[in-house]
Amino acid sequence: MTPNRKQVAEALKDEIGRLGGFVVSVPNDVERIRFQFLIPCAQELHKLCELGFEPTFRNAGLRFHHDTAVPCHTYEVVLPVERQMPVQDRTIHGEIATKEKPSAELEATKKSLGLK
């Protein structure tokens, strides 16, 4: 059984905090996790990639840190959706069609169209 998205999101947020980043995504959003790292941040991004996440660059901006505006980059990780496997039910239910003799009306139509 795989861990659900909420647990993965919480673990990712904790790891970003340990790496010195700041989570800025909407609370309780388990689909997209947005976070910021102060520049330079190559080592932190490499660590997230090693953990199996694919951070996407969103924008560059400023972040107030210790009463000073410092440059930072904002990234986003989209957590994959848990896929539900389709039910393999290939049983035919109900009546199975049988080849019936053509009706008299169909024979008359074919005859009038010159198909017979």
pTM of the model: 0.66
Distance, CA of 19 to CA of 56 (rounded, Å) = 17
pLDDT in tens, 17-35: 999 999 999 888 888 999 9
Cα of 60 vs its chain's centroid, Å: 25
Under a CB-based contact definition with an 8 Å cutoff, are residues 45 and 38 in contact?
no
Which amino acid is it at 82? E
* Two structure tokens written together for 63: 């972040």
Which amino acid is it at 70? V
Instruction: Give the three-class secondary structure for 75.
Output: strand
Question: What residue has token string 């198909």?
Answer: 115
The pLDDT confidence band at residue 80, using thresholds 50, 70 and 90, is confident
The pLDDT confidence band at residue 1, using thresholds 50, 70 and 90, is very low
